[in-house]
Chain A
C-alpha cells in the first residue's frame, strides 16, 4: 500500500515544481521568444521571428556598452568604498557599540529610506536653482559647484549611494567583529600581539568570509542600480548616468524596443549566471579544502 520513496518524493515536490514552472519557467520561455523576435506593444501576441538580430543590435549599440561600463564602474567603486568605510567604522565604533548597542539603530538609519526617495530628496537638495546646498555653498563660500552637471554627476551619485549603503556594510562587519571569540583576542594579548598586527594578522583574516559576502552583495546591488539614479537624474546629461537597468528600462518602455531590451537583459542574465556559477564553485572548493 505504501508508495515507493521515489514516487512519494515526486508527489511531494510536484506543487513546488509546478509553482516554479508557472512563475519562472513561463516568463523565461517568453523572454527567450521575445529576444529572438521583432516585437512591439502592438504585436505582443504575434511576434515575428528574427533570429539573433536583437542580440546583434544590442552588442553593436555603443549605448549598451556605455551603460555596462557605467554599471561596472559604479558597482566596483561603490562596493569597495562601502566595505572599506563600513569596516573602518565598525572597528572604530566597536567600543561604543559594545556599551550602547542601540546606537547601531541610528547608524543604520539611512538603510530604511527607499532608494527612490533618496534620489528625490537629493534632487531637491542639490538642484541648481532651488537646492539649498548649491545656494549656501555660493552664498557662504562663493563656491559655484554643479552637482548634477555631466562632469560631476558620477561623483555625486557615487557619494549618495555610498552614504546610503555604508551602514549595511557596517552592520555586517560589526557582527563579524563581535563574533570573533574573546579568548582569541586574550591569547593574542598574552602573546604581545596588539594594534595593527592584531587587526591584520588575526582579526581581518577571521572576518574575511564576511568581507567577501559584503563585497559581493554590494557589488550586485550597485551593478543593478536603478531607482535612486532614475529619480535623481534619469539617464543623466548626455546619457551619463545610464546604468544597465536604466538602459533596459528606456529601451523597453521609452523606445518600445521590446526585443532589444529583453535581449540586453538576457545577456545580463547570462553574465550574472556565469559569475555566480564560478563564485559558488570556488566557494565550495574552499569549504572542502
Chain B
C-alpha cells in the first residue's frame, strides 16, 4: 500500500513557472485523477512524480521515503504512456517481460507473471505478435500489462485513453476501473476529459494554470464546487453563471426578481446547473427568454434560451419535453440548487441561513 506526498512542489522550465508551492497527499489504494484544460500542468505533475522531470523545489515522498532526487526506476512506480511507448521490435510477450528480465527475476516467475497479466487483460491470443500488428485498444492493454507485471507501488496513467475511439474509450475506462478494484493499488491518472475523471476517480484534483483549484470526490466537485472554474469544468453541459446584485434585501437576479438570503460576502455571480433549471410559464419564471435552439439527445433535451438579463442560458430536461424554437419561456430553479460566487470567483457557502 502506497501513499504519495507532494510538499511545496515548484517546477520551472527556463523562466516559466509551471508550479509554485503545490502540495498534495495521495492515500494508499486511492484512485486520484488530475484533470484540467491543456497546459494546466497535469502531465508535468505526473512526470515529476514518475521522476522523468526534476522538481525545482519542494519534496516528493513515496511511503514516507524522500524520492525527490531518486531516479525513476528506484521509485517503484509503473507508468502507462499516452502513446503506449511499446518497444516496436519486441513481441507483446517480450514487451511485457522486458522489465522483469531487467530486474533479473527467475524465468519461471517471469512466465507466471506474464501469463497471469495476459489472462487478466485478455491479450493471450496475440502474445507473439509485434505491436505494429495490434489495434489501438490492444496496444493499450499491452501497455497496461507491462505496468501490471512489475507489481509496482503505484500506477501512473498519462492520458491513456486519448488515442482511442469513443466506444473503445468507454469500454477501456470501465476495464481500468475494474482493474483498480481488483488490484487495490494506488493509481494516479491524468486526463483532460471530465467524464473520465468523474467516473474513475476516488478523488479528483482540478488544475488550472499550475494551481490546484479544488481537490475532492466527484460528488463534492459536482455539488459544491469551490469556484467558478471548477463549477464550469465539471458537469456537461456546463453550469450557467448568471450576473447578480447583492443588496440589503439579499441577492437578486438583475431583473429585480425575488431575492436570495443575504450572504456574508457580496455575491456577483449565481451558478445554476442546466439540470436544475425548470421550464415554466413566462410570468412565473425567475428568468424569461426566447428559445434559441433545442438539441435532442434521446434521453435528454438541451435547450438554449436567450434571456434578457443573463444572456444565453442552457437547460437540460428529459427528452420527452416539448419546446418550440423562438418560444418565450420562463426559467426557474430551487434556491437550494443555486451556487453563489464572489467577485474573485470563489464560492460563498453556508451563509444562506435566513429563510426566503
Contacts and interface: CB of A to CB of B under 8 A. Distances in A.
A183 B85 contact: yes
A193 interface: yes
B73 A183 contact: no
Contacts, number: 55
A147 B51 CA distance: 54
The winner among B83, B85, B88, B150 for most chain A CB atoms within 10 A is B85
B79 A190 contact: yes
B52 A186 contact: yes
B73 A194 contact: yes
A108 interface: no
A184 B87 CA distance: 7
Nearest to A194: B73
A205 interface: yes
B81 interface: yes
A192 B85 contact: no
B71 A189 contact: yes
A191 B85 contact: no
Interface residues of A, number: 17
Contacts of B44: none
Contacts of B74: 192
Contacts of B272: none
A192 B73 contact: yes
Contact of B50 (A181, A190, A202): A190
A192 B78 CA distance: 10
Interface in B133-169: 146, 150
Contact of A197 (B52, B102, B150): B102
Interface residues of B, number: 24
Interface in B94-128: 98-99, 102-103
B198 interface: no
Contact of B89 (A187, A192, A197, A205): A205
Contacts of A192: 73-74, 99, 102-103
A217 to B, nearest CB: 22
A251 to B, nearest CB: 47
Nearest to A182: B85
A206 interface: yes
A191 B83 contact: no
Interface in A173-218: 181, 183-184, 186-187, 189-194, 197, 201-202, 205-206, 208
B77 interface: yes
A182 to B, nearest CB: 9
Interface in B14-48: none
Contact of A189 (B73, B88, B89, B103): B73
A135 B146 CA distance: 63
B102 A187 contact: no
Given A190-B78, A192-B102, 13 more contacts: A181-B85, A183-B82, A183-B85, A186-B81, A187-B87, A187-B146, A189-B71, A190-B51, A191-B73, A192-B103, A193-B98, A201-B98, A208-B89
5 contacts: A186-B52, A187-B85, A191-B102, A191-B146, A202-B87
Interface of B: 50-52, 71-74, 77-79, 81-83, 85-89, 98-99, 102-103, 146, 150
Interface of A: 181, 183-184, 186-187, 189-194, 197, 201-202, 205-206, 208
